């Protein structure tokens, strides 16, 4: 399942976007309801943090078996590194981290400038 909450304008040859990719592995003890609470909290961030240009997420469905326990992937898009610097310490992001912490087994984060 992939869901986007905000469309990004079509890329022009001179526009790039900063992608913030976050993958979670949840603790075995976390229930489906616990995981859904985390997903819902992350999905709420674009309405609380205006510098988020786009947001989408989904659950792993790769047949390759290389997910290393990661089940959920979130893609947050920014227009600049300055926007990311607003996002990371933002009160709403920090509140989300507190919802996540009790259920998080492992996290991987990769940021990159999207190009064509």
Domain positions in the chain are: 21-114
Both tokens assigned to 34? 């616990």
Task: Find where tokens 């905000």 sit.
Answer: 6
Residues of the chain with pLDDT under 70: 1-14
Q: What is the pLDDT of residue 15?
A: 74
Q: What is the pLDDT of residue 13?
A: 42
DSSP 8-state class, residue 42: H
Identify which of 1, 63, 59 has the alpha carbon closest to the alpha carbon of residue 25: 59
Task: Find where tokens 């912490």 sit.
Answer: 101
Contact 77, 23 (CB under 8 A): no
**Quick one: fold of 21-114?**
Alpha-Beta Plaits (3.30.70)
What does pTM read for this prediction? 0.85
């Amino acid at each position: 399942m992939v869901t986007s909450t905000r469309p990004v304008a079509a890329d022009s040859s001179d526009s790039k976007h900063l992608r913030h990719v976050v993958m979670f592995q949840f603790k075995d003890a976390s229930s489906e309801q616990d995981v859904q609470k985390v997903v819902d909290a992350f999905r709420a961030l674009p309405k609380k943090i205006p510098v988020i240009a786009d947001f989408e997420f989904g659950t792993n469905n790769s047949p390759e078996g290389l997910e290393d326990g990661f089940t959920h992937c979130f893609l947050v898009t920014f227009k600049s590194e300055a926007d990311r610097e607003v996002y990371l310490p933002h009160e709403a992001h920090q509140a989300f981290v507190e919802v996540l912490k009790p259920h998080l087994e492992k996290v991987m984060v990769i940021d990159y400038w999207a190009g064509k």
